[in-house]
Amino acid sequence: MTASELRASAALASIFALRLLGLFMILPVFAIHARGLPGGDNGFLVGLALGIYGLAQAMLHLPLGAASDRFGRKPVIVAGLATFALGSFLGAVSTTVTGVVVARAIQGAGAISAAVTAFIADSTRDSQRTKAMAMVGGSIGVTFALSLVGAPALYAVVGMDGLFEITGVLALAAIAVVVFVVPAAPAQPAPSIRSRLRDVALDGDMLRLNFGIFTLHAVQLAMFAVVPRWLIERAGMPVADHWKLYLGVVVASFAVMVPPMIWGERHGKLRPVFLGSIVLIAGVSVLLTLEPSGLVPLTVLLFGFFAGFNILEAVLPSVVSRLAPPDAKGAALGLYNTTQALGLFAGGALGGWLQARFGGAAVFGVCTALLVVWLGLAAGQRRWPAARAGRG
C-alpha cells in the first residue's frame, strides 16, 4: 500500500470501529437493564430495541450508498454519523423501552457502511483493495470482542445512559476523523453514460455475490443461536469466559487468513481462495451437525469457521467494488450491505426458531444446505477481478 492508501484505509476502518464499539457495548447489558424500565417485561419490545437498528440499516443502505455516488462520500458519511450521534444522545435520556426503540431506529438511520466501503474502493488500487477491506473486517472483529470484555464493567460505572453518551461521543469523534484525517479520494472521471441501478442490481455476478454475503451472515447468526449454549452444556465453559475463546479464535484466524489472501491477490487466484473458504465453512457446518462435545473440538471448529469467514468478509466487498461500474460503486455496495443486513436478520430469526423446535443439529443442517447452494452459484461466476491483482 502507498502511504495515502494506508492512511485512508486505516482512518476509514477506525470510523467503523468507533461507531461499532459504542453500538456493541449496549448489546451484552441492555436486556438486563431493560428489566428496570417501563416496558422491560415485554420480550418483544426488548428484542425490537436491539434489532430495529439492523432493520433501519437494511432500508437505508441502498439510498445512502447511491447518494454518496451523487453527492460525495464525505458529506453522506458525516450526515450519517451525526444521525447516529443524535440517536445515541436520545437513548441516553430515554426512560422507557419504547424510547430506546425510537433511539435505536434513529441510530440505524445513520447507515454509512456502503458509503465508507465505497470510499475505501475510491482510495485504493484494485491490487490493494482486499487488504483494505480486511482492515475493516479486523476492526469490527476486535471491536466486538473488546465490547464483550468492557461493557459489563463500564455499565457498572456509568450506567446505560453513560453507555449511550459514550456512543454519541465516539460518533462525533468519527466525524472529526472523516473531516480532518481521511484524505480526499482521487478524482473520478465523470461517466459519459450513467449506470442504471436496475442493471447493477440484476447483473448475474452481482446477484451471486449478494447471495453470498446474505448466506455468510445468516450462517454466522444462526451459529450463534446454538454455540453459546453448547459451550456451556458441552464444553463446561461459563458464559463469563466465552469472550476469551472468541477473542482467541478471532485473532488467530486473522493471522491465518493473511497468507492465502496475499497469494490469491498476487497470483490471480482469488477464485480458488474464495471457493475454498466456502468449502471450509461448509465442512465446519457439516461437523457441527454431529453435535460435538468438548472444548477442544468446539474451539477448532470455531477457528475453522472464522478463518473462512474472515477471508470471505474481506474478499466479497473487494470484488463487488471492483466489478461495479465506477459511477455506481456506492449503489452496488448499498445493495451488498442491504443483503448483508437481511442475512443477519434471517439467520438470527431462523436459527432461533430451528433451535427451539428441532435442536442444534437442524440449525447446522440448514446452514450446510445454504452453503452448498452458495458454492454452486459462486462456482458459476464468470467475472473475477484477479487479472489486475498484484500489478499496482
Least confident of 232-236, 256-260, 371-375: 256-260
Please state, in angstroms and rounded to a whole number, the distance separating the CA atoms of residues 129 and 109: 27
pLDDT average, residue stretch 360-377: 94
Give 199's contacts (C-beta < 8 A, 6+ positions apart).
Answer: none
Residue that has been written with the C-alpha cell 433511539 in this structure:
103
Domain count, the chain: 2
Provide the pLDDT for residue 366.
94
Q: Is residue 304 part of a domain?
A: yes
Please state, in angstroms and rounded to a whole number, the distance separating the CA atoms of residues 274 and 264: 9
Nearest Cα to 261, choosing from 86, 81, 386, 392?
386
Tell me, yes or no, whether 221 and 318 share the same domain. Answer: yes
- How buried is 294 (Cβ within 10 angstroms: 0-12 exposed, 13-18 middle, 19+ buried)? exposed
pLDDT at 295 over 90: yes
pLDDT average, residue stretch 16-39: 75
Nearest Cα to 33, choosing from 157, 149, 123, 159?
159
Tell me, yes or no, whether 209 and 283 share the same domain. Answer: yes
**pLDDT tens digits, 237-264:** 887 777 788 778 888 888 888 788 878 7
pLDDT at 136 over 80: no
Q: Is residue 202 part of a domain?
A: yes
Share above pLDDT 70 across residues of the chain, in percent, rounded to a whole number: 91
Least confident of 203-207, 318-322, 361-365: 318-322
Tell me, yes or no, whether 13 and 93 share the same domain. Answer: yes
pLDDT average, residue stretch 117-145: 76
pLDDT average, residue stretch 225-239: 84
In this prediction, residue 231 has a pLDDT band, given cuts at 50, 70 and 90, of confident
Tell me, yes or no, whether 164 and 246 share the same domain. Answer: no
Q: Which domain holds residue 31?
A: 1-129+155-179
Q: Is residue 18 part of a domain?
A: yes
Tell me, yes or no, whether 85 and 44 share the same domain. Answer: yes
Provide the pLDDT for residue 386.
53
Nearest Cα to 298, choosing from 354, 245, 240, 250?
245
Last residue of a domain, one of 120, 145, 179: 179
pLDDT average, residue stretch 350-359: 83
Task: Give Dmax over CA atoms of the chain in angstroms.
Answer: 63
Tell me, yes or no, whether 93 and 205 share the same domain. Answer: no
Q: Is residue 232 part of a domain?
A: yes
Q: Is residue 1 part of a domain?
A: yes
Q: Is residue 297 part of a domain?
A: yes
In this prediction, residue 388 has a pLDDT band, given cuts at 50, 70 and 90, of very low
Tell me, yes or no, whether 206 and 318 share the same domain. Answer: yes
Tell me, yes or no, whether 167 and 282 share the same domain. Answer: no
Please state, in angstroms and rounded to a whole number, the distance separating the CA atoms of residues 268 and 259: 14
Q: Is residue 224 part of a domain?
A: yes
Take residue 216 and report the three cell numbers written for it.
455468510
DSSP track, 250-307: HHHHHHHHHHHHHHHHHTT-HHHHHHHHHHHHHHHHHHHTT---SHHHHHHHHHHHHH
Average pLDDT, the chain: 83
Residue with the bigger pLDDT between 137 and 222: it is: 222
Task: Tell me the C-alpha to C-alpha distance, in Å, between residue 385 and each of 129, 197, 205, 323, 382.
Answer: 11, 21, 12, 7, 10
**pLDDT tens digits, 88-104:** 999 999 988 899 889 98
pLDDT at 387 over 60: no
Provide the pLDDT for residue 32.
72
pLDDT at 186 over 60: yes
CATH of the domain at 357: 1.20.1250.20
Q: Are 207 and 112 in contact (CB under 8 A)?
A: no
Tell me, yes or no, whether 112 and 212 share the same domain. Answer: no
Last residue of a domain, one of 145, 179, 213: 179
* Three-class HEC string of the chain: CCHHHHHHHHHHHHHHHHHHHHHHHHHHHHHHHHHHCCCCCCHHHHHHHHHHHHHHHHHHHHHHHHHHHHHCHHHHHHHHHHHHHHHHHHHHHCCCHHHHHHHHHHHHHCCCHHHHHHHHHHHCCHHHHHHHHHHHHHHHHHHHHHHHHHHHHHHHHHHHHHHHHHHHHHHHHHHHHHHHCCCCCCCCCCCCCCCCHHHHHHCHHHHHHHHHHHHHHHHHHHHCCCHHHHHHHCCCCCHHHHHHHHHHHHHHHHHHHHHHHHHHHHCCCHHHHHHHHHHHHHHHHHHHCCCCCCHHHHHHHHHHHHHHHHHHHHHHHHHHHHHCCHHHHHHHHHHHHHHHHHHHHHHHHHHHHHHHHHCHHHHHHHHHHHHHHHHHHHHCCCCCHHHHCCCC
Residue with the bigger pLDDT between 179 and 149: it is: 179
Residue with the bigger pLDDT between 177 and 47: it is: 177
Least confident of 259-263, 358-362, 371-375: 259-263
Tell me, yes or no, whether 26 and 116 share the same domain. Answer: yes
Tell me, yes or no, whether 223 and 266 share the same domain. Answer: yes
Last residue of a domain, one of 179, 213, 245: 179
pLDDT average, residue stretch 15-39: 75
Q: Is residue 59 part of a domain?
A: yes
Tell me, yes or no, whether 174 and 203 share the same domain. Answer: no
Residue with the bigger pLDDT between 65 and 282: it is: 282
